[in-house]
Structure formats: structure tokens, C-alpha cells
Amino acid sequence: MNLTELSKQVHAAAKANGFWEGERNVGEIFMLIISEAAEALEAHRKGKFADLQGYEGERKSVADSLLFHIRGFEKYIKDSFEDELADVVIRVLDYAGSRDLDVSIIEGNIEDLSLETNIGAMLCDTCEYIIQARLSVEYKATDKKVSANLRQVLRQVFAIAKFSNIDLERHIELKLKYNKTRPYKHGKNY
């Protein structure tokens, strides 16, 4: 998955859906990324995990239509731990796409992260990386430094997914497809 290329597509979709009308507040953007990490923790605490097998099995038994995808996504995937991790990545990619930043990560780089065995602690580490990325933007660091911080956020989320045996790329793909069906600004003010 080429995350830099995907960031351009994610950002274009977010713009088309109204999320980039006028100036965006950087603090707000990064807080929304953190909120997705918090939602991932809540889903994990509640034991809300995606049923990708159920989704795929039902998809194969009916016509593969957009209507099924919406209903199937909401039934088997929406608001799950995996879905919220995908949302973290999508929000990071949206911001990176807005600034044309290089956020490509190398698969091997995920392996060298020292992960704890507690999802809450791992997500807390992710939030620390998000804050570092936000500070690098606020203090007008170079794009190279901002990119490095965002790559660290992405590496952490992909590492959590790998640790949790989650096909995060598939969940990102499904969420992006679902987002295309949602109303303007996904029915929210911002």
C-alpha cells in the first residue's frame, strides 16, 4: 500500500465531502486523529471487533452491490476496533494529502517498534506521536520533519494492527468505500 499516493486520494475525497472548506485549524485536525485513537480503545474495551469473515461470506452470497456494502459494513464492521484504527490512518492520510507530504512507510520499519502488550498503552504511545506531529506543524518544522512524525504515527497504528492480527489495509479499503456513501461532512459540523 503506497500511503503517500493514497493520502492524495483520501484528501481529494475529504475535500469533495466538504471537510476542507476554508481554513482548517491544525489543533482541531490533530485532536480528531486522537479522538479516533480514543474510539479504538473504547471499541476494544467493549469487545467490539469486526466480523470480516461474516462480511465477506455474506457479500459472496448476495449480489456485490453498493447497497450490500453499506448494510454489510454497518452490520459487521462499523465502529469496531479495526474500523477505528482505519479511521486514525485515514485522518492522518487526509492531513498528509492536504500538504502533499511523503508518509510512505517501509514494512520492515514496523518490526522495530517495541510494543507493549496492552492496547491502551500502545494507543497512548500513538497519541504521543500524534502530538509530536502536531507540534512539529505548530512550530513550523520542515515538511521533512512533519512527514517523519506522521510516518511514526502510521508505523505505530500498523504495528498495533499487526500485533492484533488485523488486516488494516483491508479495513482502510472498506472504510473508504463506505465513506463515499456518507452525506456531506458525514452529517457533522466539521
Residue by residue, pLDDT tens for the chain (190 residues) are 899 999 999 999 999 999 998 889 999 999 999 999 999 999 999 999 999 999 988 877 776 677 788 889 999 999 999 999 999 999 999 999 999 999 997 655 665 556 667 899 999 999 999 999 999 998 888 889 999 999 999 999 999 999 899 999 999 999 999 999 887 778 787 7
Rounded to the nearest integer, the mean pLDDT of the chain is 90
In angstroms, the first-to-last Cα distance of the chain is 28
Q: What is the pLDDT of residue 190?
A: 78
Domain map (residue ranges) of the chain: 3-184
Nearest Cα to 73, choosing from 186, 177, 167? 177
Q: What is the pTM of this model?
A: 0.91
Contact 37, 121 (CB under 8 A): no
Q: What's the CA gap between 158 and 146, in Å, rounded? A: 18
